[in-house]
Structure 1
Amino acid sequence: MPRETLSREQIVRAAVEVLDAEGVEGLNMRRLGAWLGSAATAVYWHVKNKDDLVVLAADEVWGEIELPDVEQVGWREAAAAMARNLHAMVIRHPWLVTAMSTHLIYGPGKARHDNHLIGVYEAAGFTGRQVEWAMNAVFVFALGQAIGEASDAAWRRRLRRAGGDPEERERAAIEQIAEIASRFPRLRARMDAPGDDGPGQRFEFGLQTVLDGLEARLGAR
C-alpha cells in the first residue's frame, strides 16, 4: 500500500489486528508494514515508534465498549453492562494486559469510557471520592477476571510460536498441573466434582456480588 494512501486510522486498526494475532512481542514496524502491504518507512510518517503505536492501539480498543443509557436501564444494569463489555474487550484483545503494565494508556477512547462511568455511579447516588472508589471496585473485579483468561490466551500463543506440536505441549502442561493439584485433598475434591459451570457464570456471580455490596453501602447511608 503506497505511503500516500495510508491513514493513521488504518495503521492503528492494522496494529490492533497484529497485536491480536501475535501480542506486543510480535509487533514491530516491519511486521506492520507487511500486514498493510507497505514499507515500514511509510508507517513512520504517521506514528513515531512502536511504543506510540501500542498506546494508540490500546486506546482504540477502549472505544469498543458500549455506553448504556443510565436513565433507561438504571445505574446497576448500566454498571453491570460496562463491566461485562470491559471483560469481553480484554479477552478479545489479551495483549492489552501487557500494554497496560508497560505503557501509560490514556486517550480519547479511555477518557470517553471513564467519563460515562462517572455518570453511572453519580446516578447511583455516590458522591465525592466514593464515586471513584465504587468505580474502582467493579473495574478491578472485571479486569482481574479477564486477566486470567487473557493470560491463558497469551500462554497458548507462546506455545504456538515455540514450534512443535502446541496441542501436545498444552496437554502435557495441563496433566502436570492436575498431577500436582491431586496431592492436596481440597483441590482433588474440586477436580473430581462435576464441571457444570463456566467462565460466564463465575464472572456473573462475582459481578453481582460486588454490585450487591455497593447497593448495600448506598442503602446504609
Structure 2
Amino acid sequence: MTRPFSSVWSREPRRPKNAGLRREQIVTAAIALLDAEGLDALSMRKLGSKLGAGATSLYWHVANKDDLLELALDEIWALVEVPEPDIASWRAAATTFAYSMRATVLQHPWVATVAGQFPSVGPHAFALLERLRKTFVQAGFTGTDIYLAAGTLMSFVLGQVGPEISARKMADAGTDWTVDNVVASADQLAADYPELLADYRAVQYADRDTGYAVAFDFGLLCILDGLAARVPNPVRLPGEPAT
C-alpha cells in the first residue's frame, strides 16, 4: 500500500506559543550541528540541549527529524549560485552552478546523503530550479529536456563529490590516503595488471585535492559538451561566440 506524498513544506508551520524559540533558530542550529558532527549525530534531544530547550519544545515547531532535515536542506540550496541568463551564457551559468554546488556540498558534506533521501520542494529549491530552467531554455532546450539537462548536471556534481567526501572522512578518521601508500597498495593488489599499474602511477597527483579538482573539471567539460551537442539550434547571447 503506497503512502501519500508528505513534506514539511505541504503543511502550515505552527505559530510559536511565545516569544521564545523560532523554527528558523532550530534550523540554523541543526545545520551547525550537521556541519560539525555529521548526519548520525543529529537528534532532537541533542539539538534541544544545544539550544537550551527540551526536545518537546522543538517538536512544537518541527514534527520530526525528517522535517528538520528537509528544512535544513532547503537552506543549503539558497547558497548555490546560478547567474541570471541575461548576464551570462548558458555554459557560463551552468559552470558557475556546478562549481558553486560542489563547493557548497563539500562545505556541508551531509547534503550529499540528504539530497537523495528527501524531496527538494522548498522555496530555495524552487528558486534554484527556476534559475537552472532559464539557463537551459537559453541554451535552446525545450520541454522535458530542460529538466533532464538540469538533472544531469546536478547528478554529475553529486556523483563527483560523494566519493571525495567519503575519502576525506576516511582521512579524517586516520586512514593513510597519501599517494605513496595508495600506490604501494595498488602494486600489491593489482600485480596481475602491469599496464594498469603503470598508468595509475603516471596519473597520480601528489596532492589529492588537485586530483579531485582536475577530475571535476574534465567531467564537467564532457557534460557541457554533451549537452551542447543535444541542441540542434543553440541560442546565444549577442556577441557570444559559437561553441
Shorter-chain TM-score range: 0.7 to 0.9
Q: Does 1:171 align with 2:186?
A: no
Q: Matches of residues 1-221 of structure 1 in structure 2 within 5 Å?
A: 4-155=19-170, 166-167=173-174, 170-171=175-176, 178=186, 179-181=188-190, 184-193=193-202, 195=205, 197-219=210-232
Counterpart of 1:160 in structure 2 is none
1:40-79 C-alpha deviation (Å, 9 max, x unpaired): 2222221111111111111111111123121111111001
Q: TM-score, normalised by structure 2?
A: 0.76
Q: Quick check: 1:95–1:154 contact (8 Å CA) kept in 2? A: no
Question: Given that residues 94 and 151 in structure 1 are in contact (C-alpha distance below 8 angstroms), is that contact kept between their aligned partners in structure 2?
Answer: no
Shift of 1:5: 2.9
What is the percentage of aligned positions where both structures have the same residue?
39
* CA shift for structure 1 position 219: 4.5
| Displacement of 1:209 | 1.6
Change (3 A) 1:182 1:121: same
Q: Say if 1:182 and 1:87 are closer, same or farther in 2 by CA, change over 3 A.
A: farther
- Note the C-alpha offset of 1:181: 4.2
Higher helix share: 1
Q: 3-state SS of the aligned residue for 2:87?
A: helix
Instruction: Report which of the two structures shows the higher radius of gyration computed on alpha carbons.
Output: 2
Q: Where do 5+ consecutive residues of structure 1 fail to align?
A: 158-165
Q: Give yes or no for contact 2:77–2:125 (8 Å, CA) kept in 1.
A: yes
Q: After superposing the two structures, state which structure 1 stretch, 192-201 or 82-91, moved more.
A: 192-201
Runs of at least 5 residues in structure 2 that lack an aligned partner in the other structure: 1-17, 235-243
Are the equivalent residues in 1 in contact too, given 2:98–2:153 (CA < 8 A)? yes
